[in-house]
């Protein structure tokens, strides 16, 4: 079934070995422990402060949240994409591969912009969390091109996207002073629209030849629901992982908690309402129920209130289900955007909603400022901060769309071994599958040969 154009025997090993060797060299030259991780620096501080103790190390504040985020990246995102009937190995396996690469590359890229001290990148538990955040954005884009790309294409996409993500994050957080702790803009909006632009450039007019595999079966949807539950459970940690210690972190987790709960009910309601027979659609539940976590990401640390969080989640669920039901077919038919996982409905539109909610919340003077009784937003007039939040959304969309356009054309190069139109959404193209699948592989080989004959005749 695998021919010379899609054979990964040399392409994938060369790509992985070269990228990892480069990473190891760069880490050796540029990366060192931060003050909370380096034994000499931490103990020096211990010796000069009578009140200092190991319990003050940032590890004890951040590591539980890091573990939750880490589970979301490798289990949540991985299993969420196993809904395709014959692409489970690739969904979890390629998720594992590009996440492992992305978190290393993100440590360097984010370090270049945020963590340089005396020519060195200082890393600790917070940089691990931020690297996972960046990886999450890459995995969102992965969902848009799922089943239609080779592992080499995914690695190349991750390399460019991590770099552009770090540039966008630096512009927003460091230059503009944007508040986006849960990443509605920097993670979800960026990842969604970057991936949508990539999949638009990689548009396949003959993808209908693989349409019979672009769907789920009973057990594949059940596996995908496992990913949903993991993401749903740990999303409060995701949004609050890098917020300030104390009330801000507490408030972010609580706002996310109630937003997700309200979103779940509206998702179930809309899924039943939009079906002529009133039956629930598992695709809606797997995805739309998570939209509340996305939509509250920017404003989660602000004084949004539980009441406001529930409204945001409620609206996010409605928007997401309507997107899956009515907007996705239009995007594919009219704009030629083949969004496999519906990332526009789970991450794109809810991310924009979250950015708008953050801008409005900031401008209404409801954002917490610990130094000035809420009259300003961290030293800025609230109306000015609201404007900054809105500008940040436009910047994010611009970088994501232009970046996705450029990267999409790079990924079209035939050297990267993209699958043929007749073999998309198929594990056996890149994986050794169990013995009982051998007959299926022979059948696919025959189908591919038949299609080739038709094209050549």
DSSP string, 173-199: IIII----TT-IIIIIIHHHHHHHHHH
d(CA 116, CA 174): 13
290 contacts: CB under 8 Å, gap ≥ 6: 228, 231, 232, 235, 260, 263, 346
Q: Which pLDDT belongs to residue 180?
A: 95
**213 with 361: CB under 8 angstroms?**
no
For residue 35, give the 3-state DSSP assignment. coil
Alpha carbon 408 to chain centroid, angstroms: 18
pLDDT at res. 440: 54
- The rounded radius of gyration (Å) of the Cα atoms in the chain is 23
Give how far Cα 24 sits from Cα of 38, 108, 165, Å: 19, 11, 21
Strand ranges (E), 41-115: none
What is the model's pLDDT at position 6?
A: 87
Its pTM stands at 0.91
Q: What is the pLDDT of residue 369?
A: 47
pLDDT of residue 368: 44
What is the per-residue pLDDT for 70? 97
CA–CA dist 450, 453 (Å, integer): 5
Rounded (to 5) percent helix, strand, coil in the chain: 70, 5, 25
CA angle 450, 455, 457 (to 5 degrees): 90
Identify whether the C-beta of residue 90 lies closer than 8 Å to the C-beta of residue 148: no
Pick the CATH number of 68-426 from 3.30.360.10, 3.40.50.1980, 1.10.10.10, 1.10.3430.10: 1.10.3430.10
CA distance 164 to 445: 39
Task: Report the SS3 class of residue 363.
Answer: helix
Helix axes 305-322, 247-273, angle to 10 degrees: 40
Q: Mean pLDDT of successive 10-residue segments in the chain (457 residues)?
A: 78 97 97 88 59 78 95 97 96 98 98 88 95 98 97 98 98 95 96 98 93 92 96 97 92 97 98 96 97 97 94 98 97 95 97 96 65 56 91 98 98 94 94 68 51 47
Nearest to 255 by CA among 312, 297, 316, 300: 300
pLDDT for 53 equals: 72
Q: Would you list the domain boundaries of the chain?
A: 68-426
d(CA 302, CA 288): 24
Q: From the CB of residue 31, how many other CB atoms can be counted at a distance below 10 Å? A: 17
């Amino acid at each position: 079934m695998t021919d010379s154009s899609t054979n990964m025997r040399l392409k994938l090993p060369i790509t992985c070995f070269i990228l990892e060797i480069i990473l190891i060299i760069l880490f050796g030259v540029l990366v060192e422990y931060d003050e909370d991780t380096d034994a000499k620096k931490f103990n020096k501080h211990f010796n000069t402060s009578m009140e200092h103790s190991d319990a003050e190390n940032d590890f004890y504040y951040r590591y539980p949240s890091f573990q939750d985020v880490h589970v979301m990246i490798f289990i949540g995102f991985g299993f969420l994409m196993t809904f395709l009937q014959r692409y489970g190995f690739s969904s979890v396996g390629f998720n594992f591969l590009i996440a492992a690469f992305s978190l290393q590359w993100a440590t360097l890229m984010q370090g270049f912009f945020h963590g340089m001290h005396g020519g060195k990148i200082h890393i600790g538990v917070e940089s691990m969390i931020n690297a996972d955040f960046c990886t999450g954005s890459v995995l969102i884009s992965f969902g848009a091109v799922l089943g239609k790309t080779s592992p080499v294409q995914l690695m190349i996409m991750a390399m460019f996207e991590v770099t552009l993500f770090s540039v966008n994050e630096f512009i927003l957080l460091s230059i503009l002073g944007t508040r986006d702790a849960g990443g509605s803009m920097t993670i979800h909006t960026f990842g969604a629209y970057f991936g949508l632009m990539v999949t638009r450039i990689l548009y396949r007019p003959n993808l209908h030849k693989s349409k019979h595999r672009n769907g789920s079966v009973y057990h594949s949807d059940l596996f995908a629901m496992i990913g949903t539950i993991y993401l749903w459970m740990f999303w409060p940690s995701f949004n609050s992982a890098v917020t300030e210690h104390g009330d801000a972190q507490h408030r972010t987790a609580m706002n996310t908690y109630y937003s997700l709960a309200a979103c779940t009910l509206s998702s179930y309601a809309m899924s039943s309402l939009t079906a002529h027979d009133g039956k629930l659609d598992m695709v809606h539940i797997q995805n739309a129920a998570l939209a509340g976590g996305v939509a509250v990401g920017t404003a989660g640390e602000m004084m949004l209130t539980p009441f406001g969080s529930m409204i945001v989640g409620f609206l996010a669920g409605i928007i997401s289900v309507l997107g899956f039901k009515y907007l996705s077919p239009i995007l594919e038919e009219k704009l030629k955007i083949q969004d496999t996982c519906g990332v526009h409905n789970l991450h794109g539109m809810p991310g924009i909603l979250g950015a708008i909610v953050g801008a409005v919340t900031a401008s209404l003077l409801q954002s917490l400022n610990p130094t000035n009784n809420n009259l300003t937003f961290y030293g800025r007039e609230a109306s000015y901060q609201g404007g900054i939040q809105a500008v940040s959304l436009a910047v994010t969309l611009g970088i994501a769309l232009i970046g996705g356009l450029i990267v999409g054309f790079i990924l079209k190069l035939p050297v990267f071994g993209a699958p043929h139109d007749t073999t998309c959404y198929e594990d056996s193209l890149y994986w050794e599958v169990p013995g009982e699948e051998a007959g299926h592989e022979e059948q696919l080989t025959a189908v591919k040969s038949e299609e080739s004959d038709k094209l050549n005749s």
